[in-house]
């Protein structure tokens, strides 16, 4: 059962488009500074918690903490490192490729479900920039 304990949220960001189908997906910022579903190569800023249904609607984004996340790939086990390296904004098991490492699995997670992941989206971009 997916659980949450968000520790840090980003206030004041808005959706770039209808993101109502993107709840619990990893997100990034577009060139205008608006929230979009993260794609391969983007700097992930967190996990979208709400369902903004139009451009300009407020977004609730967890940057660090225990949160629900959409699971992709073949799923993963509790304790596995997790990355975002897909156009769908979903969590994948870290396989050592160029995807941004975003945390670790809190529980066993099955593909195409929502699972719990401990995220720290600040560490990936900051570590990569150093």
DSSP per-residue codes, 18-72: --TT-TTSEEEE-TTS-EEE--TTS---EEE-S---STT-B--EEEEEEEEEEB-
Question: Of 36-40, 52-56, 82-86, which range is least confident?
Answer: 82-86
**What is the rounded distance in angstroms from the CA atom of residue 104 to the CA atom of residue 124?**
12
Q: What is the mean pLDDT of residues 56-70?
A: 95
pLDDT computed for residue 67 by the predictor = 94
**At 78, is the pLDDT very low, low, confident or very high (cuts 50, 70, 90)?**
very high
CA distance 31 to 37: 13
C-beta separation of 47 from 67 below 8 A: yes
Tens digit of pLDDT for each residue in 34-53? Answer: 999 998 888 999 999 999 99
- Per DSSP, 12 falls in state S
- pLDDT for residue 129 is more than 60: no
- pLDDT of 42: 87
Whether 83 has a pLDDT exceeding 80, the answer reads: yes
- pLDDT at 6 (0 to 100): 65
User: What pLDDT score was predicted for residue 10?
Assistant: 87
């Amino acid at each position: 059962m997916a659980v949450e304990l968000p520790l840090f949220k980003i206030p004041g960001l808005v959706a770039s488009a209808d993101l109502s189908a993107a709840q619990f997906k990893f997100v990034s910022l577009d060139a205008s500074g608006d929230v979009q579903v993260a794609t391969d190569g983007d700097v992930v800023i967190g996990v979208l918690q709400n369902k903004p249904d139009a451009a300009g609607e407020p977004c609730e984004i967890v940057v660090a903490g225990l949160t629900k996340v959409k699971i992709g790939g073949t799923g993963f086990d509790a304790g596995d490192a997790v990355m975002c390296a897909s156009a769908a904004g979903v969590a994948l098991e870290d396989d050592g490729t160029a995807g941004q490492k975003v945390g670790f699995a809190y529980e066993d997670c099955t593909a195409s479900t929502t699972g719990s992941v401990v995220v720290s989206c600040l560490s990936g971009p900051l570590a990569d920039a150093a």
